[in-house]
């Protein structure tokens, strides 16, 4: 059975890094009798310029039908400054995909490669052996809460406002995803919130505690306030196994945690929904970084976050963790050979890193 992969490169370095990830997938598919069909479509600013929308209904339909989506990045100065109104789904293709496909569980693994320990901005003895997963809730919270807007209010002043809103079922499903993941790892789950200030944080903490006591007694649950969590991640990142947190905190903590690995360009992610009746699980795979307008079009982008996202696609989207391991080993060998892009202190371009990974596959 042929598996359909929808490739949405997007803007800036997005298409540069998804092209590299697709090459890796095509080579593995050819060698291991995996029938893959790739289709490409516009998303983000590139799509807006062509159609006036950040993603079209036709592309949404393809995304829903695909076995997996390989995503690059969207956005850039040209589109970020547009004065758009309306719900977030109409202002970003990525946000619409996450919301309509209900990709609520965003997995962001933080695992530095041995060859890059000295390149982390933290000391090698702090980052050696780090292996944790940030589970970011991706379909709720302040990204989507209503009301939101910029309006003149009764005091005569202009207000910009957003709403952090989580329903109990939204917290429950991300809790189950995180506990189940922790149970398959080192059985430690740290829930991160701001329950000392936010009502949504109180419900978050209460729900995590209830579900843990009821359904996952073998998992050790702890709680941190997000400000302390940010500090703990740089103080002693080895203490963590799985971290679960809301949409906004997860966004911020993962970019910070990226520097454990040496570069934001190294971090992959998988955004997963609930398995469909036929057992297939909707999933979008993308590097954590953005479109990097400062280096776009120069052939300097680090493709490894995208290539490692393809590895997550092999595991979660195609049920081939064995092939994902081949990709990870090839990336490790490339880095051991000292072949890296400038964000990692190297001199290689995107193409040279890709060539080295392919050589090592």
5 appears as a binding residue in the annotation: no
Question: Site for ligand IPM (CB under 6 A): which residue of 9, 12, 14, 75?
Answer: 75
Cα 265 to Cα 6, 15, 33, 283, distances in angstroms:
22, 14, 30, 21
202 appears as a binding residue in the annotation: no
Q: Choose the contact partner of 92 out of Mn ion, ligand IPM, ligand NAD, none; CB within 5 to 8 A by kind.
A: ligand IPM
Residues 91-130 that bind ligand IPM (CB under 6 A): 92, 94-95
List interacting residues with ligand NAD (CB under 6 A): 13, 17, 73-76, 80, 94, 264-265, 286, 289-295, 301-302, 305, 341, 343
29 versus 301: smaller Cβ distance to ligand NAD: 301
29 appears as a binding residue in the annotation: no
Q: Which two tokens stand for residue 47?
A: 């799509």
Is 131 known to be catalytic? no
* DSSP structural state of residue 156: S
Is 62 known to be catalytic? no
Q: Shortest approach of Mn ion to residue 255 CB, angstroms?
A: 6
User: Using CA atoms, how far apart are residues 207 and 267, in angstroms rounded to an integer?
Assistant: 29
Is 251 known to be catalytic? yes
Is 194 known to be catalytic? yes
Marked catalytic residue, from 48, 104, 143, 216 = 143
8 versus 208: smaller Cβ distance to ligand NAD: 8
Q: Which two tokens stand for residue 178?
A: 């995180």
Residues 230-269 that bind Mn ion (CB under 5 A): 251
Q: Shortest approach of ligand NAD to residue 292 CB, angstroms?
A: 4
Marked catalytic residue, from 67, 166, 193, 194 = 194
Q: What is the DSSP string of 155-194?
A: TSSEEEEEE----HHHHHHHHHHHHHHHHTTTSEEEEEE-
Backbone angles phi, psi at 56, to 5 degrees: -95, 165
Region of 7 on the Ramachandran plot (φ > 0 left; ψ -120 to 50 alpha; else beta): beta
Is 165 known to be catalytic? no
Q: Is the CB of residue 21 less than 8 Å from the CB of residue 306?
A: yes
Residues 257-316 that bind ligand IPM (CB under 6 A): 288, 290
Q: How many residues bind ligand IPM (CB under 6 A)?
A: 7
Contact between 178 and ligand IPM by CB under 6 A: the answer reads: no
3-class SS letters over 103-148: CCEEEEEECCCHHHHHHCCCCHHHHCCCCEEEEEECCCHHHCEEEE
User: Cα 282 to the chain's mean position, in Å?
Assistant: 14
Stretch that binds ligand IPM, among 3-11, 88-96, 203-211, 343-351 (CB under 6 A): 88-96
Q: Shortest approach of ligand NAD to residue 299 CB, angstroms?
A: 11
* DSSP structural state of residue 314: I
79 appears as a binding residue in the annotation: yes
User: Using CA atoms, how far apart are residues 324 and 319, in angstroms rounded to an integer?
Assistant: 9
6 versus 295: smaller Cβ distance to ligand NAD: 295
User: Using CA atoms, how far apart are residues 158 and 156, in angstroms rounded to an integer?
Assistant: 7
Q: Is the CB of residue 71 less than 8 Å from the CB of residue 47?
A: no
Q: Shortest approach of ligand IPM to residue 105 CB, angstroms?
A: 14
Q: What is the DSSP string of 34-102?
A: --EEEEE---THHHHHHHSSSS-HHHHHHHHHSSEEEEEE---HHHHTS---S-GGGT-HHHHHHHHTT
Q: Choose the contact partner of 293 out of Mn ion, ligand NAD, ligand IPM, none; CB within 5 to 8 A by kind.
A: ligand NAD
68 appears as a binding residue in the annotation: no
Contact between 251 and ligand IPM by CB under 6 A: the answer reads: yes
User: Using CA atoms, how far apart are residues 290 and 12, in angstroms rounded to an integer?
Assistant: 8
Q: Shortest approach of ligand NAD to residue 74 CB, angstroms?
A: 4
**In 3D, which of 271, 246, 243, 229 has the Cα closest to residue 137?**
246
82 appears as a binding residue in the annotation: yes
Q: Shortest approach of ligand IPM to residue 290 CB, angstroms?
A: 6
Q: Which spans of this chain sit near ligand IPM (rule: CB under 6 A)? A: 75, 92, 94-95, 251, 288, 290
Known binding residues are 76-89, 98, 108, 136, 227, 251, 255, 290-302
Looking at the annotation, which residues are catalytic? 143, 194, 227, 251, 255
Annotated binding site for substrate: 98, 108, 136, 227
């Amino acid at each position: 059975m042929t598996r359909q992969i929808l490739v949405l490169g997007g803007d800036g370095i997005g298409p540069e890094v998804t092209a590299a990830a697709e090459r890796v997938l095509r080579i593995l598919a050819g060698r291991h009798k995996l029938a893959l069909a790739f289709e490409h479509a516009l998303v983000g600013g590139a799509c807006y310029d062509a159609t006036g929308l950040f993603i079209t209904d036709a592309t949404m339909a393809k995304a829903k039908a695909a076995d997996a989506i390989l995503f690059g990045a969207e956005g850039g100065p040209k589109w970020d400054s547009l004065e758009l109104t309306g719900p977030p789904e109409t202002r970003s293709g990525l946000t619409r995909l996450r919301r309509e496909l209900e990709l609520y569980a965003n997995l962001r693994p933080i695992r530095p490669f041995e060859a890059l320990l000295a390149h982390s901005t933290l000391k090698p003895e702090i980052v050696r052996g780090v292996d944790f997963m940030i589970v970011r809730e991706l379909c709720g919270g302040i990204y989507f809460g209503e009301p939101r807007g910029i309006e003149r209010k009764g005091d005569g002043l202009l207000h910009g406002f957003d709403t952090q809103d989580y329903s109990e079922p939204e917290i429950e499903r991300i809790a189950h995803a995180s506990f189940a993941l922790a149970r398959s790892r080192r059985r430690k789950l740290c829930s991160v919130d701001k329950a000392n200030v936010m009502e949504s944080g109180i419900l978050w903490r209460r729900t995590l505690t209830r579900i843990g006591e009821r359904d996952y007694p073998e998992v050790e649950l702890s709680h941190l306030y997000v400000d302390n969590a940010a500090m703990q991640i740089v103080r002693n990142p080895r203490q963590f196994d799985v971290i679960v947190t809301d949409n906004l905190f997860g966004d911020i903590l993962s970019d910070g945690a990226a520097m454990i690995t040496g570069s934001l360009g190294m971090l992959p992610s998988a955004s997963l929904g609930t398995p469909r009746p036929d057992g297939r699980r909707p999933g979008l795979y993308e590097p954590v970084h953005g479109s990097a307008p400062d280096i776009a079009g120069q052939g300097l982008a680090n493709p490894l976050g995208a290539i490692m996202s393809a590895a997550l696609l092999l595991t979660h989207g195609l049920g081939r963790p064995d092939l994902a391991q081949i990709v990870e080993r090839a990336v490790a060998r490339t880095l051991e050979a000292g072949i890296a892009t400038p964000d990692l202190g190297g001199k290689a371009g995107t193409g040279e890193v890709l060539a080295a990974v392919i050589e090592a596959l």
